[in-house]
Every structure is written in structure tokens, then in C-alpha cells.
């Protein structure tokens, strides 16, 4: 059962996770559908990705080298030209460059350390945006004040991140006064209390148009010891980490982020675990990485795993999340599907959030998940 809500000027009555109806909604509030596009050295094929069903494309990633923003892959320039053709057919589409990510966040702390190094980066970012005719920049620093993937980090990251955003906002506004165009600044944010403790979200919101809240990877094999949901909407009492999308949204709102600037993240992929017990069909049982790798993109799960080859789909009605379990191999897979995404869209409407973000286009199956988001929110 969904647990409350009385939010703002309206109340919500829901019967169950799936198939719920809102009694009142903020119908006039346009919702964003934000998609991360990660192509590596591949060329974008717009006909295969459902690019028309999103409001914003976050092109991943640009890198930081010597305090300068640089192209991430040799195919980027050609891909920007392809995306520009998509935008000409859909003028409301916004294309942003996302800089950093899990693998390329190592240069942020050094770059943000002084006003001179920040100015060097911002100048390069503006040149990058102008050269590729982009609509803005997404700062994907994983994470200020934290090691992330073994990155340099400092306590000063907390204030320096705010300074970067403020100076970037001023510079992009100056550019906009010349071009007659508004340039967006967004951030991909962690969904944990540690992230909030190492940032100044209330101040940062003066400069950010919205945040892409990464409400997934809540339980990761190898990093955690219990097989939990990748992206639960609500917290299951058996969850030892007590994390969920709902808990993250509440903590960010308490930290000063208005719901109208929160874009809720959903994964188009899952996580596979080998569990030590078949109790509860593996859910929140001790476990670790699977013995043989499993590609857990939604597309591969549909073709090879969901109710196939010994895997049975189950539904956690408390968390509003599906999962697969193979009792013969003791394999547990947590993922999102159309049913869980419909519930998250209901939640976005109820909490008056700005929209939904997903990682990433290429993991979908015939754009099934993206089409679900489009049908529910737009």
C-alpha cells in the first residue's frame, strides 16, 4: 500500500501500487522526460532510440582534463550534428552535454579549487556549448566531498561546487544576452544523505534549473551484502538500508530543494545477485555478485529472463518494484518494468515533481519503458 499523502494543496488517495488513480493532480504542470544518451564511440541511430519521446537529452559524457572540458569520444561531434537534426523536427527538445559521470569525475575537485581554475573550465564549457549548438550543461560530479570511484576530494568541495554553479550561471546568462537564448544548468545528484551533507543544495538551487536525482543503485552486488531492490519507490521494512526513491525525495525537499526542481531517476537496467537463501524468493537475503555475468539491460531481461529459463517474476507491493528469482541457481534480479514505472509516474504527479530521468536510452526494449513514461506523463 502507498502510505499517505497530503501534499501542498491537494490530497491523494491510492488503493494499491499498481493501477492507482489520483483524485487530484497538478494537470497544468508540464512534466519533463530526461534521457541520458551514452553512445561511447558509436554513432547515434535516432530511429532506434525513441528520441522524440523526451524533452531533454543528456549527452554523456564530456571529460575534464587540465581544468578544461573536452570531448569524451571521437564520435561526439558527428553525434551532435545528428541530434541537431532531431531537434529541428522537435524544436522544444533540449540537448545538454553531461560532464563527468562515475568514470570521469576525478578532475572536479581540482578544477573547482580556485576561482582561476573554475574560470578556465567555464570558459571551455562555453566554447563547447557554442561549438556544438547545445542548450546547456549537466554537471555529473560523483561526488563532491566523496571519493566516488577513487577520486580526489576535499571538504572544500562543498562550497566550491556552489561557487562553480554561481559562476557558470553568470557566464551562461552573459552568453544568453548575446545569443537571445537561455542556457540550462542541471546536475545529476546522488540520492544519499552523504551527498546532501557534502553539498549546499538550498544555495545550489539558485543556479540549477533542476536536478536529476539518481534514485537507483540503492543495492549493488559487490558493494552491498544484501540483495535488495535496485530502485524501490518506497522502503520495505525488511530493507536494512531503509532507502528508497520516496525517502530520497523527502530528504532533498527537507534540504531545500523544491519539488518543482526534482526530476526522479529511474533505471532501464537491473542488478543480478547470487543469494545465500531462497527465503522470500531472495529479496533482502544475504548475497553477492552472480557466479557468471548477466547482462541486465531491460532489453536482455525481456528476451532471456522475465518468466523464462527458470526465472519467475515477483512483485513487492510495499516497494512497488518487480524482481526475478531463479530458485535452482539462487539468482535474484532487481529491475524496473512498465508496471513499476507507471507507479513512479503516479508518484511524480502526486508529489508535484518536475518529471522523470532515465539511464539510459540504449538499455530499453523497443522503447517500451520510454513509451510508458511518455504515455503516463505527457
Q: Where are the beta strands (DSSP E) in the chain?
A: 6-7, 10-11, 32-38, 56-65, 68-70, 94-100, 136-140, 184-189, 210-213, 262-267, 271-275, 287-289, 312-316, 321-326, 331-334, 355-359
C-alpha grid cell, residue 219:
543495492
Spatial CA neighbour of 298 closest among 215, 226, 230: 230
Helix ranges (DSSP H) in 103-220: 108-111, 115-131, 157-179, 193-197, 201-204
Name residue, grid cell 532489453.
299
In the beta sheet, which residues pair with residue 95? 57
Residue 24 is among the residues annotated as catalytic for this protein: no
Interior/surface letters 326-354, b for 16+ CB within 10 angstroms, e for the rest = beeebbbbbbbbbbbbbbbbbbbbbbbbb
Pick the catalytic residue from 24, 116, 142, 349.
142
Contacts of 165 (CB under 8 A, 6+ apart): 139, 185, 187, 204, 207, 208
Which residues have a catalytic role annotated? Answer: 142
Amino acid at each position: 500500500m502507498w502510505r499517505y499523502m497530503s501534499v501542498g494543496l491537494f490530497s491523494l488517495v491510492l488503493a494499491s501500487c499498481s493501477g492507482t488513480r489520483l483524485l487530484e493532480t497538478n494537470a497544468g504542470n508540464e512534466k519533463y522526460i530526461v534521457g541520458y544518451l551514452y553512445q561511447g564511440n558509436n554513432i547515434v541511430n535516432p530511429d532506434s532510440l525513441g528520441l522524440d519521446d523526451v524533452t531533454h537529452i543528456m549527452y554523456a559524457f564530456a571529460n575534464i582534463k587540465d581544468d578544461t572540458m573536452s570531448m569524451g569520444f571521437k564520435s561526439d561531434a558527428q553525434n551532435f550534428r545528428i541530434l541537431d537534426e532531431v531537434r529541428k523536427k522537435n524544436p522544444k527538445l533540449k540537448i545538454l552535454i553531461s560532464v563527468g559521470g562515475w568514470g570521469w569525475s576525478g578532475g572536479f575537485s581540482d578544477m573547482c579549487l580556485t576561482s582561476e581554475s573554475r574560470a578556465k573550465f567555464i570558459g571551455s564549457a562555453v566554447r563547447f556549448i557554442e561549438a556544438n549548438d547545445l542548450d546547456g550543461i549537466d554537471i555529473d560530479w560523483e561526488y563532491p566531498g566523496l571519493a566516488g570511484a577513487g577520486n580526489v576530494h576535499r571538504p572544500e568541495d562543498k562550497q566550491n561546487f556552489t561557487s562553480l554553479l554561481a559562476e557558470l550561471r553568470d557566464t551562461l546568462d552573459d552568453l544568453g544576452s548575446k545569443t537571445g537564448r537561455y542556457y540550462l544548468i542541471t546536475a545529476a545528484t546522488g540520492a544519499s544523505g552523504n551527498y546532501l551533507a557534502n553539498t549546499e543544495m538550498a544555495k545550489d538551487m539558485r543556479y540549477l534549473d533542476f536536478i536529476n536525482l539518481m534514485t537507483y543503485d540503492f543495492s549493488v552486488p559487490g558493494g552491498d551484502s544484501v540483495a535488495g531492490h535496485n530502485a524501490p519507490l518506497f522502503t520495505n521494512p525488511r530493507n536494512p538500508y531503509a532507502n528508497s526513491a520516496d525517502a530520497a525525495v523527502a530528504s532533498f525537499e527537507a534540504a531545500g530543494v523544491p519539488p518543482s526542481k526534482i526530476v526522479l531517476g529511474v533505471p532501464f537496467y537491473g542488478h543480478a545477485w547470487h543469494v545465500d537463501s531462497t527465503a522470500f524468493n531472495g529479496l533482502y537475503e544475504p548475497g553477492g555478485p552472480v557466479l557468471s555475468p548477466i547482462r541486465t539491460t531491460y532489453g536482455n531481461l525481456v528476451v532471456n529472463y522475465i518468466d523464462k529459463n527458470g526465472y519467475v517474476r515477483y512483485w513487492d507491493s510495499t516497494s512497488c518494484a518487480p524482481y526475478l528469482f531463479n530458485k535452482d541457481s539462487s539468482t535474484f534480479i532487481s529491475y524496473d518494468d512498465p508496471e513499476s514505472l507507471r507507479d513512479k509516474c503516479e508518484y511524480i504527479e502526486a508529489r508535484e515533481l518536475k518529471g522523470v530521468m532515465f539511464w539510459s536510452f540504449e538499455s530499453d526494449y523497443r522503447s517500451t519503458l520510454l513509451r510508458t513514461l511518455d504515455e503516463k506523463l505527457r
